[in-house]
Amino acid sequence: MDNASTSSPSPADDAAPDNALLEGVVTRSTGSWYDIQVGDESIPSRVRGKFRLEQEEADQTNPVAVGDRVTIRLNEEDGTGMIVDIHERETKLSRRAAGRRAGQEHVIVANVDFAWAVQSVHMPRLNAGFIDRFLISADMFDVPAGIILNKVDLLNDDPEVEDIAAMYTELGYPVLRTSATEGIGIEALREQLEDKISVVAGPSGTGKSSLLNAIEPGLDVETGEVSQKTEKGKHTTTFAELHPISGGGFIVDTPGIREFGILELHPADLAHFFVEFVPYLDDCKFQDCTHDHEPGCAVKRAVDDGDIHPRRYESYLNVLYSLQEGEEGLGR
């Protein structure tokens, strides 16, 4: 770490002003070096000291995040770059930092165009609660979301899976059925990823790495059973990485997105993130209705009338209770 660059700009910042300016996307960060994708090339780059100062003023832990679109000045001599401009972010996924930087915002990925919740239909069992938390997070960051149901090769007519798939389709979320090992639905997924920065997130073992490899065989991402411990260690020590897709676009596998943001959600606002609840929210008897135990609740009436799926209502209550207990996103 070069703390010196926070106090004075390094001489390299303004050296060789005639060198080429290039635009690219940050695909990887180690904290002091960044890989910038420019066309088919990846250029290791550093960041001007002034961005470190700005980042401290903005109360953020990282001046540059993967997904950021940047301008670099190329040093023709050694092939490295200096990030001289960071373009305005359209979206970002972030979380509050812990430890030394407690409370500061840590941007995980910038400029995410779409977020996919990955679930396997079997082994591990489909978990609709995960999907609902994921959809809340994505909505909080204004990122459109969809659902990938992987391992469909292991499925033979499971009515529960069909019911869940139909439920999200009806709510307006794209639902893709894939098999990474049998090559089912991979072309449809590839089309969805084209020219976008897409996030995939899901529990360990659902096949995220296998899907990445099916989409882009050259990636050669490690797959297989990963122990709980290793997975946790990875999560805290490495940064998210953008994998370029040959058809254009990037895909990023972020382990922790499930709880992004939910931590900061007020229980009273939760119902707004269940898209099908919204039309009923003004009709509850009590203005501060939590749609749990209150009489005259329009949401509960809609559940009884079959207009809201009981599965989603149950999921709502689960998140509500964890928010009320202040435990959402902590230690999970």
Ligand X SMILES: Nc1nc2c(ncn2[C@@H]2O[C@H](COP(=O)(O)OP(=O)(O)O)[C@@H](O)[C@H]2O)c(=O)[nH]1
Residues that bind ligand X (CB under 6 A): 150-151, 153-154, 179-181, 202, 204-210, 223-224, 226
What angle in degrees, to the nearest 10, is found between the helix axes of 159-171 and 128-140? 20
- For residues 86, 92, 94, 100, the Cα torsion angle rounded to the nearest 10 degrees is 10
Q: Pick the closer one to ligand X by CB: 53 or 186.
A: 186
> What number of other Cβ atoms are within 10 A of residue 20's Cβ?
11
CA distance 69 to 308: 41
CB of 269 to Zn ion, least distance (A): 13
Work out whether the CA dihedral 222, 228, 236, 65 comes out positive or negative.
positive
What angle in degrees, to the nearest 10, is found between the helix axes of 159-171 and 310-324? 80
Coil vs helix vs strand at 269: helix
Q: Which does 119 bind (CB under 5 to 8 A by kind): Zn ion, ligand X, Mg ion, none?
A: none
Note whether 31 and 83 are within 8 A (CB). no
Q: Which does 95 bind (CB under 5 to 8 A by kind): Mg ion, Zn ion, ligand X, none?
A: none
289 binds Zn ion (CB under 5 A): yes
CB of 203 to Zn ion, least distance (A): 31
CB of 219 to ligand X, least distance (A): 12
Q: Pick the closer one to ligand X by CB: 62 or 206.
A: 206
150 binds Mg ion (CB under 5 A): no
Residue 193: φ, ψ to 5°: -90, -15
Q: Pick the closer one to Mg ion by CB: 178 or 209.
A: 209
x-or-dash pattern for Mg ion, window 196-235, by CB under 5 A? Answer: -------------x--------------------------
Beta-carbon-side half-sphere exposure of residue 164 (alpha carbons within 13 Å): 22
Query: Which whole-number Å values give the CA distances from 108 to 8, 23, 49, in the listed order?
Result: 27, 21, 21
CA distance 78 to 155: 53
Q: Which does 146 bind (CB under 5 to 8 A by kind): Mg ion, ligand X, Zn ion, none?
A: none
Q: Pick the closer one to Zn ion by CB: 25 or 289.
A: 289
CB of 186 to ligand X, least distance (A): 10
Which 8-state DSSP code applies to residue 179?
B
299 binds Zn ion (CB under 5 A): yes
Q: Pick the closer one to ligand X by CB: 126 or 284.
A: 126
Q: Which does 284 bind (CB under 5 to 8 A by kind): Mg ion, ligand X, Zn ion, none?
A: Zn ion
Q: Pick the closer one to Mg ion by CB: 175 or 211.
A: 211
What angle in degrees, to the nearest 10, is found between the helix axes of 208-215 and 186-193? 80
Considering only the stretches 10-18, 139-147, 226-234, 289-297, report the one whose residues sit in contact with Zn ion under the rule CB under 5 A. Answer: 289-297
Q: Which of residues 268-287 bind Zn ion (CB under 5 A)?
A: 284
Binding site for Zn ion (CB under 5 A): 284, 289, 291, 297, 299
Binding site for Mg ion (CB under 5 A): 209
